[in-house]
């Protein structure tokens, strides 16, 4: 069955970096674009980034442009989100999801705090 599992969350100080991973299984990963979506505590969903199936094009929400980088390794069926210069407002549960947003992981919590 289709499954995506996020990992890599944790507590990090403002200004530091963190890399999230999303391991995919149950489908041909290299055929699908992938999203990152986040949800701050008690808040709504926010779309963060999208990468096309082959990594050729990448798109970001304005608030993370220049700080976050979405990437993928199709040989490892894994999606990544490199987060640099983290801020308090980046504190959230980060979800990965397949391109039609039909399959989501359970999320990984990132807390940015000193």
Handedness of CA 40, 43, 3, 65 (dihedral sign): negative
Examine residue 102 and tell whether it contacts another protein (CB under 8 A): yes
Those residues with Cβ within 8 angstroms of residue 61's Cβ, 6 or more apart along the chain or in another chain: 46, 47, 48, 49
Q: Which of 5, 23, 40, 61 binds another protein (CB under 8 A)?
A: 61
User: How many other CB atoms are there within 10 angstroms of residue 63's CB atom?
Assistant: 12
Stretch 17-56: interaction string toward another protein, x if CB under 8 A: ------------------x-x------xxxx--x------
Residue 12 β-bridge partners: 112
With CB under 8 A as the rule, give the number of residues binding another protein: 19
Q: Considering only 21-29, 59-67, 69-77, 83-91, which stretch makes contact with another protein by CB under 8 A? A: 59-67
Q: How many CA atoms lie within 13 A of 99 on its CB side?
A: 14
* Interaction site with another protein (CB under 8 A): 35, 37, 44-47, 50, 57, 59-61, 95, 100-102, 104-107
């Amino acid at each position: 069955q289709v499954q995506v599992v996020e990992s890599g969350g944790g507590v990090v100080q403002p200004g530091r970096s963190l890399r999230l991973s999303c391991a995919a299984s149950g489908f041909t990963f290299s055929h699908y674009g992938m999203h990152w979506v986040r949800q701050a505590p008690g808040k709504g969903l926010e779309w963060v980034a999208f990468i096309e199936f082959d990594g050729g094009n990448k798109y970001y929400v304005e608030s993370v442009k220049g700080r976050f980088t979405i990437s993928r390794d199709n040989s490892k069926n894994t999606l990544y989100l490199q987060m640099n210069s983290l801020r308090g407002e980046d504190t959230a549960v980060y979800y990965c999801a397949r391109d039609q947003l039909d399959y989501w992981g359970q999320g990984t919590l990132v807390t940015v705090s000193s």
